[in-house]
Amino acid sequence: MRIITIANQKGGVGKTTTAINLATALAAIDKRALLIDLDPQGNASTGLGIDKDDREISSYDVLKETASIREAAMPTAVPNLAVIPSTMDLLGFEMEISGVHGRAYRLRDALHFHQQDQADFDFVLVDCPPSLNLLTINAMAAADAILVPLQCEFFALEGLSQLLQTVEEVRDSLNPMLGLHGIVLTMFDSRNNLAAQVVRDVRSFMGEHVYETVIPRNVRVSEAPSFGKPAILYDMKCPGSQAYIQLASEVIRREGRLVAA
Ligand code: ADP
Ligand code: MG
């Protein structure tokens, strides 16, 4: 089981879209995937068609140790893909648990407690809230590696050093094995000259950490969540879906190298 946390403290950069579609693409190539929604907004849960009323057991229960991963995982319309949905209860988590020993390890402990649960999944993707709060720290402490979506816009790199600094701190204090899986450029608009410049800048700054795959801005991708479907299910042929399928194979290739290292 490999755990990849999708994080960026900026909102609207494509974290949730990447989590949903990467998980779907991995499931489509026969990897058993689990998406854990750690954002109180619950966009990943909604985008996978889980209605608010159906979220009886949520990621909050997992963090509060009232449910196991296996108990909380719900099937989705995508074969091989399960989701642990989130609820607004998550908003209270940080306050409720302040001062409690091991509070940053709640997700890691849940993922590692039951040996059988580990055998259930090949990939666990964690979708983070747009903040470097205790939920994101839990997701980083639990992860083998971080995947960072960056939107192709002028301020793309702003905030990246703070994010990488946090990854460094988590590695020093909580999770020495934490790696940077890679940076994926999202919402690329080929008609915008600036976007191509941003891609060049990010590549020259972050080198081989940046995936070759760039996700194009694609209206089909933004429509899909309102149908409760991953873009890959809603319109597999659209350029955005195809890019996420390509990203999945790049992630798998990189996995081979990360595991060997
Ligand atoms: P985050 O989780 O980082 O806040 P989202 O994945 O929710 O970001 O994306 C923010 C908005 O941009 C959403 O409305 C989403 O549908 C849209 N979006 C994300 N990726 C694309 C894309 N490749 N093409 C078009 N719209 C996109
Ligand atoms: Mg999101």
Domains of the chain: 2-260 (3.40.50.300)
Q: Which ligand 1 atom is at minimum distance from the Cα of 219?
A: 25
Q: Which ligand 1 atom is at minimum distance from the Cα of 127?
A: 2
Confidence (pLDDT) at 256: 76
Q: Quick one: which ligand is closest to 149's CA?
A: 1
> 247 CB less than 6 Å from ligand 1?
no
Confidence (pLDDT) at 261: 54
Which residues have CB under 8 Å from 5's CB, separation 6+?
125, 126, 128, 136, 139, 140, 142, 143, 145, 146, 147
Determine the Cα–Cα distance for residues 51 and 37; give it in Å rounded to an integer. 14
Q: What is the mean pLDDT of each run of 10 residues along the chain (261 residues)?
A: 97 98 97 98 98 96 96 97 98 93 96 78 97 97 97 88 95 96 96 92 95 98 97 98 98 81 54
Confidence (pLDDT) at 158: 86
Confidence (pLDDT) at 260: 59
Which residue, among 210, 214, 209, 206, has the nearest Cα to 244 in the 3D structure?
A: 214
Protein residue whose Cα sits closest to atom 16 of ligand 1: 222
Q: How far is the CA of 145 from the centre of ligand 2 (A)?
A: 18
Confidence (pLDDT) at 119: 77
ipTM score for this prediction: 0.99
> 44 CB less than 6 Å from ligand 1?
no
> 215 CB less than 6 Å from ligand 1?
yes
Q: How far is the CA of 256 from the centre of ligand 1 (A)?
A: 28
Ligand 1 pocket mutation, candidates 9, 17, 127, 146, criterion most atoms within 8 A of CB = 17
Are the CB atoms for 20 and 48 separated by under 8 Å?
yes
> 130 CB less than 6 Å from ligand 1?
yes
Confidence (pLDDT) at 108: 97
Q: How far is the CA of 90 from the centre of ligand 2 (A)?
A: 14
Confidence (pLDDT) at 259: 63
Confidence (pLDDT) at 5: 98
Which residues have CB under 8 Å from 63's CB, separation 6+?
90, 93, 97, 106, 107, 110, 135, 138
